[in-house]
Structure 1
């Protein structure tokens, strides 16, 4: 039998593209459900599944699992025996609420209050479209910026224009500057003017000056 934990694991694995498929009323309803920690947790998960089901196209990888979950769920009050204290803490707080941090935030990468919107205005691809092209948007060596609508975006300068794969020099610099922990700071390094290079670092990608990028990143660290 498909459990609520199975459902939440599937939601976590496909969250970026599921969020992209939801309209704003559905997103608002999800936020309400995530805040319903006083309600029956099993029922909350069922309602989330039904809400998401309606937005998924046929053949979506989680659709069959969700269909099974709803098919075998019993009655409005649920027929399963659940340790409500453990379930409520594990599934609602760490699961549903964790997924919906952007309601206030979709991920730990949400824009800080003083974030420069020009970074979000730079050319980018959504995490959902990047995954659809067969790549991993959760790669820790990539910059991921979550906009104020909850959409995860990956600045396009990071990728080869033909293959779509991350550029090796970008991966090396992002790893050195720790893009996974500080995506906004590393995006600013790439897209802002750099005194050491006397240009915007991203402009050197694919040029003869590309070999200077890693040295510039090391110089940045030396100044910290």
Structure 2
């Protein structure tokens, strides 16, 4: 899959493909679903949108962090050396992600579920567009809400975005989703909310209403800024 991309981002994507069997066996089903969703999000980013490419690539890196690999394993070395401060080569990185998604979607001798594309829902309760509108008092859901495409059920809104008591969207969710560019990369934003976060001590979605909003915003800001 190497087409001359010399960037650390391109090298990381190449190595994911080369070591895909090891990676699949090291991640549980939910972790692997998140990785595929984030790779799919990267493959769909506009190549000339450097900020979105950088953000989507950071999502891929975070999905790989649970890998129990030796420090000298090629994937771990590439993961640690991928720098996001400077904008990555957008077209090459996005093209590499598309090639990788095609590779992961092809038949493989490794065990595990079929590769998941961004059109398949993440493992979380979700509301239909009609239900989301009802939660918003009959008005159209705010554009900051994560809206995932479901070929069979139509648009779906992950339910964690709505407060249990009032049923309305959490204001902090809208703020964080703006930082995560959820309107451009809804799958990457959903993956961030539903993945474990060592800084916060749990999945951000499960901590809504339990942690100060400022901590959630701070964690999202750290991701965006590559801290």
**Which TM bucket (shorter chain)?**
0.3 to 0.5
Q: TM-score, normalised by structure 2?
A: 0.44
Structure with higher Rg: it is 1
Q: TM-score, normalised by structure 1?
A: 0.45
